[in-house]
């Protein structure tokens, strides 16, 4: 009996997945990535997408009635949102049904979400907040989330304040948690639980579990889910019901940055993208002289004779004569004599690491959601920048002036480049030219 009862929703789920697979070639040509692999089905948390991208998510959940009807009911929830600068997301959740008020035909949730802290940008954890208006509850709802990565796992906890749809002015609270476990670049397992703090006899603990898949060489993700919730608003995912529902979520991001994206900020000396290597070096020196106080103008000749594309092993031998020619003799002697003076001049010890640190400095960043995590970086000469590809499709880090080129970086792989000369370096992704960034390299 149970096998027959659940066979039909599973068959419908497979049918919907087949339709989605048939549409993938059409959708991939005009879309930008958004991954479900970092969040469980009923907790969106601090996900804010990428600036300049529209997101359309199709969430469908099926339930069946008991014998003799065995009727299949489906409730879709549509998310339409826009990624904004400063890690903001604004949008709407629309469902064709509601579990909040009897006979309420539709449920809308207008929301705005902000992620002030993100591990991808160097923070110790992820922090997000959301506020929205739910028309079925006729009030404001809010959520605060905190998440952290622990190896292949990502754990997340949430606290919610919800309007009471049955008592105007009353506020109810819900708490929950969940996480995901990465099984590889393209697969993750996810689950979550949440509950109202004062549930009545008709309300249950809300739960969900999912198998999340990133579509290889595509920006799309698909989640196959089982849950006891109905819709994907904050109100809906905080209330469990009797029985379970099967469903899926499919993401369709549309990249407006492809057509309306703003170019990275450039210095006046970088206006020509096809400038020869020697001219690029001269421009870098001129830009360096405007930001580095006390740098003599006589330094450009030795710098301009060095080609722009310098191998990573070149900074150590090349930097010594160039740097020492820019400083007074007294400072040059102090730098060179540091090893022999460490035992006789204790005051020189603090100065030695501070002057040599930039040559060994490393900055780690990456690509995610078809976006460079830090589209603008400011570093010093000698810094090595490492990019990691966190997307399910290949990217490149290609300099506009051709001074460096990563080639295709496959998902999960990294590319490093050491910047040996001051200047402004604009770069982009060859397969996705709307992805742009800039590195500003200053003298030590």
The answer to whether the CB of 163 falls within 8 A of the CB of 171 is: yes
pTM greater than 0.95 (yes/no): no
Residue range 276-320, pLDDT digits in tens:
333 333 333 333 333 333 333 334 434 333 343 444 444 444 444
Q: What DSSP string runs through 5-74? A: HHHHHHHHHHHHHHHHHHHHHHHHTT-----STTS-TT--TT----TTEEEEEEEEEEEEPPTTT--EEE
State phi, psi for 375 to the nearest 5 degrees.
Answer: -75, -15
- Residue 200: CB partners within 8 Å, gap ≥ 6? none
Give the CA-trace dihedral at 228, 232, 236, 240, to 10 degrees.
10
Any idea which of 77-91, 117-131, 322-336, 390-404 has the lowest mean pLDDT?
Answer: 322-336
pLDDT of residue 260: 65
Query: Which ranges of 308-430 does DSSP label H, i.e. alpha helix?
Result: 315-324, 329-336, 338-341, 351-360
pLDDT of residue 292: 32
The mean pLDDT value for 410-429 works out to 92
d(CA 55, CA 78) in angstroms, rounded, equals: 10
d(CA 280, CA 371) in angstroms, rounded, equals: 26
Length of the chain in residues, anyone?
A: 444
pLDDT band at 122; cut points 50, 70, 90? confident
Residue range 355-373, pLDDT digits in tens:
444 446 889 998 887 888 8
Q: Is the dihedral of CA 425, 430, 432, 433 positive or negative?
A: positive
Residue range 159-193, pLDDT digits in tens:
999 999 888 889 999 999 999 999 988 899 999 99
Edge-first strand listing for the sheet containing 384-389:
362-367, 384-389, 414-418
Strand-pair partners of 240: 204
- Residue 230: CB partners within 8 Å, gap ≥ 6? 61, 75, 95, 97, 98, 99, 236, 239, 241, 245
- Residue 130: CB partners within 8 Å, gap ≥ 6? 44, 111, 112, 113, 114, 142, 143, 145, 234
Residues above pLDDT 70, as percent of the chain: 68
Q: What is the DSSP letter of 262?
A: P
Residue range 246-280, pLDDT digits in tens:
999 999 888 776 666 554 443 334 333 333 333 33
Pick the more confident residue, 36 or 358: 36
């Amino acid at each position: 009996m149970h096998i027959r009862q659940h066979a039909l929703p599973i068959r419908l789920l497979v049918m919907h997945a087949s339709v989605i697979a048939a549409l993938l070639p059409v959708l991939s040509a005009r879309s930008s990535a958004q991954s479900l692999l970092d969040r469980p089905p009923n907790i969106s948390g601090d996900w804010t997408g990428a600036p300049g991208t529209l997101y359309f998510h199709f969430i469908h959940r099926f339930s069946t009635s008991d014998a003799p009807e065995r009727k299949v009911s489906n409730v879709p929830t549509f998310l339409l949102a826009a990624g904004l600068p400063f890690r903001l997301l604004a949008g709407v959740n629309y469902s064709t049904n509601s579990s909040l008020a009897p006979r309420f035909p539709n449920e809308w949730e207008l929301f705005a979400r902000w992620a002030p802290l993100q591990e991808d940008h160097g923070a110790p954890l992820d922090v997000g907040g959301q506020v929205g208006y739910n028309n079925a509850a006729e009030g404001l709802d809010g959520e605060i989330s905190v998440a952290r990565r622990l190896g292949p796992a990502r754990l997340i906890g949430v606290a919610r304040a919800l309007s009471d749809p049955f008592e105007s002015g009353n506020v109810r609270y819900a708490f929950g948690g969940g996480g995901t476990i990465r099984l590889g670049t393209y697969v993750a397992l996810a689950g979550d639980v949440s509950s109202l703090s004062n549930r009545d006899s008709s309300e249950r603990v809300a739960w969900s579990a999912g198998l999340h898949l990133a579509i290889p060489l595509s920006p799309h993700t698909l989640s196959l889910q089982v849950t006891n919730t109905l819709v994907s608003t904050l109100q809906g995912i905080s209330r469990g019901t009797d029985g379970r529902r099967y469903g899926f979520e499919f993401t369709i991001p549309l990249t407006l940055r492809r057509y309306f994206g703003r170019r990275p900020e450039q210095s006046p000396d970088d206006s020509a993208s096809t400038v020869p290597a020697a001219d690029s070096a001269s421009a870098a020196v001129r830009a360096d002289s405007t930001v580095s106080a006390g740098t003599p103008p006589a330094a450009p000749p030795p710098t301009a004779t060095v080609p722009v594309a310098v191998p990573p092993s070149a900074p150590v031998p090349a930097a010594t004569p160039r740097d020492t020619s820019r400083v007074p003799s007294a400072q040059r002697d102090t730098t060179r004599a540091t090893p022999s003076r460490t035992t006789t001049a204790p005051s020189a010890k603090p100065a030695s690491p501070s002057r040599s640190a930039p040559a060994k400095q490393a900055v780690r960043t990456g690509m995610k959601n078809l976006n460079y995590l830090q589209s603008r970086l400011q570093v010093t000469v000698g810094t090595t920048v490492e990019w990691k590809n966190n997307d399910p499709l290949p990217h490149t880090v290609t300099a506009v002036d051709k001074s460096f080129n990563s080639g295709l970086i496959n998902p999960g792989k990294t590319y490093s480049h050491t910047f040996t000369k001051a200047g402004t370096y604009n770069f982009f992704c060859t397969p996705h030219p709307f992805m742009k960034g800039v590195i500003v390299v200053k003298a030590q």
